[in-house]
């Protein structure tokens, strides 16, 4: 038995009703040795439930002959989980499965055939409800209303009647936090001033773009109907400073590649060292006896190289890289999106076809339809896997395009940038710089 959290709205699904019908079934068949397994307040979308786990344990101990449910979705609303329980848990131990509502008994051939059909319907119902809920929430957010539920952002209250966020007394504290951060206060000191226990809480509040009057949903911004606590200009200024301060501002501004240089001979990190009045050299940590805990325990004979030569080589390569990305353009723009739409359309067509096949089977009971149903289900699964892969590829392409856009024009702006800004740009696109004697290899990040 399973009773969901909203079972009070489901007529006939209460624990008492299910228990009465299941007990009547056992009595009618003169079964005396039975036990009720009751998962109260659990969704059917998962089998990670206490009583299901106990049932599986008793099945594995060969203590169960038959499992009976009032309705198939009381076992699970997931087709995958239902088939797993029947095929991989019950059947290997000779356990029959009976669903009273669907008149299903897996000890018979027709019962086993019906199982696949009904579990598919249960999953289809669940996915339909989830999709409708998601679409409803998106439409709500597009109208500027708060998505409802969940944690309300610090500085706001939720007006349920209007469906929007309303600034509260803490809104002034949020304004103060932005002001102090822009003035250069450290995050821990800001947290204390705001009465917060931890530094990361202050950072979460400052980085929350909801404060500017927008609502974020699945990576997309929507203009909210709620009042902004700070201007977008203030927010962007704070984010710019946060990026700069997080890019290694404690290092000297001339050390553009600090932390990125790796020895190509032994694999150890390389460091900067002042070399008289001529500047700095970069050399392997393995060559520094005072840093033995950092080295890989290898006597390295890699060269000591002038830092400015390596930095200039990296900067020149970044300029060439940015020009190449800008010149090449996005030749494949739109192709991935078109393929995704095509795959989505194919999935919709097959889903509609499956619905018709399910209805035909339910009306006729013709088992020849089962092969066609299975073939279409298999094709649908392959299409969904391909669709997921294409969506991931499109997301990666988008990230790459965004990086290319940020790098465009970097050559012209370079001389006007501060040392911190230059270092931030390099860390954004360069993963590491490998020096092997007189050779320099530059490795860019995957999303660049």
What is the C-alpha to C-alpha distance for residues 18 and 3, in angstroms, rounded to an integer?
Answer: 9
Question: Using an 8 Å Cβ cutoff, are 360 and 408 in contact?
Answer: no
What is the C-alpha to C-alpha distance for residues 181 and 426, in angstroms, rounded to an integer?
Answer: 25
Residue 240 phi, psi dihedral angles, 5° rounding = -65, -45
Question: Using an 8 Å Cβ cutoff, are 104 and 90 in contact?
Answer: no
What is the C-alpha to C-alpha distance for residues 389 and 395, in angstroms, rounded to an integer?
Answer: 10
- Reported pTM: 0.35
Residues 6+ apart with CB under 8 A from 89: 56, 59, 60, 95
What is the C-alpha to C-alpha distance for residues 118 and 102, in angstroms, rounded to an integer?
Answer: 8
311-317-319-320 Cα dihedral, nearest 10 degrees: 160
What is the C-alpha to C-alpha distance for residues 122 and 44, in angstroms, rounded to an integer?
Answer: 10
For 83-136, write each residue's pLDDT tens digit.
788 878 998 899 999 988 877 787 777 777 776 676 677 667 667 777 776 777
What is the C-alpha to C-alpha distance for residues 293 and 272, in angstroms, rounded to an integer?
Answer: 17
**Which residues are annotated as catalytic?**
4
Tens digits of pLDDT across the chain (448 residues)? 887 655 444 445 678 888 889 999 999 989 989 999 988 777 777 888 889 999 999 999 999 999 999 887 888 877 778 878 887 899 889 999 998 887 778 777 777 777 667 667 766 766 777 777 677 777 778 888 887 666 789 999 988 888 889 999 999 999 999 999 888 887 888 888 899 877 888 989 999 999 999 988 777 888 888 999 999 999 999 998 888 776 544 444 468 898 899 999 988 889 898 888 888 999 998 887 665 556 555 678 999 999 999 999 999 888 887 766 544 444 454 566 778 888 888 988 988 888 888 788 777 777 778 888 888 888 888 888 888 888 877 776 766 665 566 566 677 777 767 777 788 778 878 889 999 998 999 998 765 5
Query: What is the DSSP-derived secondary structure letter of residue 84?
Result: I
What is the C-alpha to C-alpha distance for residues 21 and 98, in angstroms, rounded to an integer?
Answer: 13
With left for phi above 0 and alpha for psi between -120 and 50, is residue 429 left, alpha or beta?
alpha
User: Which is it for the CA torsion 336, 339, 345, 349, positive or negative?
Assistant: negative
Termini Cα distance of the chain: 52
């Amino acid at each position: 038995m399973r009773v969901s959290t909203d079972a009070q709205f489901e007529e006939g699904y209460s624990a008492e009703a299910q228990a009465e019908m299941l007990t009547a079934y056992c009595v009618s068949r003169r079964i005396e040795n039975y036990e009720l397994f009751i998962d109260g307040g659990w969704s059917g979308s998962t089998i990670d439930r206490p009583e299901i786990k106990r049932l599986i344990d008793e099945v594995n101990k060969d203590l169960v002959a038959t499992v009976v449910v009032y309705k198939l979705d009381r076992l699970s609303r997931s087709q995958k989980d239902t088939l797993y329980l029947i095929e991989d848990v019950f059947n290997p131990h000779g356990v029959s499965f009976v669903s009273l509502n669907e008149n299903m008994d897996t000890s018979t051939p027709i019962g086993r055939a019906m199982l696949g059909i009904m579990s598919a319907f249960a999953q289809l119902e669940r996915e339909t409800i989830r999709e409708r809920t998601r679409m409803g929430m998106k439409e709500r957010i597009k109208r500027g209303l708060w998505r409802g539920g969940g944690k309300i952002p610090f500085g706001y209250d939720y007006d349920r009647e209007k469906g929007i966020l309303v600034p509260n007394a803490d809104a002034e504290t949020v304004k103060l936090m932005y002001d102090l951060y822009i003035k250069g206060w450290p995050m821990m000191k800001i947290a204390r001033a705001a009465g917060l226990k931890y530094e990361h809480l202050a950072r979460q509040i400052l980085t929350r773009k909801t404060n500017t009057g927008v609502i974020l949903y699945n990576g997309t911004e929507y203009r909210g109907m709620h009042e902004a606590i700070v201007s977008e200009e203030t927010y962007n200024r704070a984010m710019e400073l946060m990026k700069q301060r997080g890019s290694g501002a404690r290092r000297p501004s001339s050390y553009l590649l600090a932390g990125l240089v790796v020895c190509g001979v032994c694999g150890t990190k390389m460091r900067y060292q002042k070399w008289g009045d001529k500047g700095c050299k970069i050399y392997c940590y393995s060559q520094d006896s005072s840093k033995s805990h950092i080295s890989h325990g290898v006597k390295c004979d890699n060269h000591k190289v002038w830092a400015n030569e390596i930095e200039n080589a990296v900067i020149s390569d970044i300029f060439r890289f940015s020009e190449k990305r800008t010149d090449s353009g996005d030749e494949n723009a739109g192709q991935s999106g078109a393929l995704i739409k095509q795959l989505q359309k194919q999935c919709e067509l097959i889903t509609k076809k499956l619905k018709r096949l399910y209805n035909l089977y339910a009306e006729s009971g013709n088992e020849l339809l089962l092969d066609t149903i299975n073939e279409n289900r298999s094709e649908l699964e392959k299409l969904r896997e391909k669709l997921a892969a294409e969506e991931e590829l499109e997301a990666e392409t988008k990230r790459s395009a965004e990086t290319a856009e940020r790098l465009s024009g970097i050559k012209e702006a370079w001389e006007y940038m501060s040392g911190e800004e230059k270092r931030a740009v390099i860390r954004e696109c360069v993963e590491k710089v490998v020096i092997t004697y007189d050779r320099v290899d530059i490795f860019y990040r995957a999303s660049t």
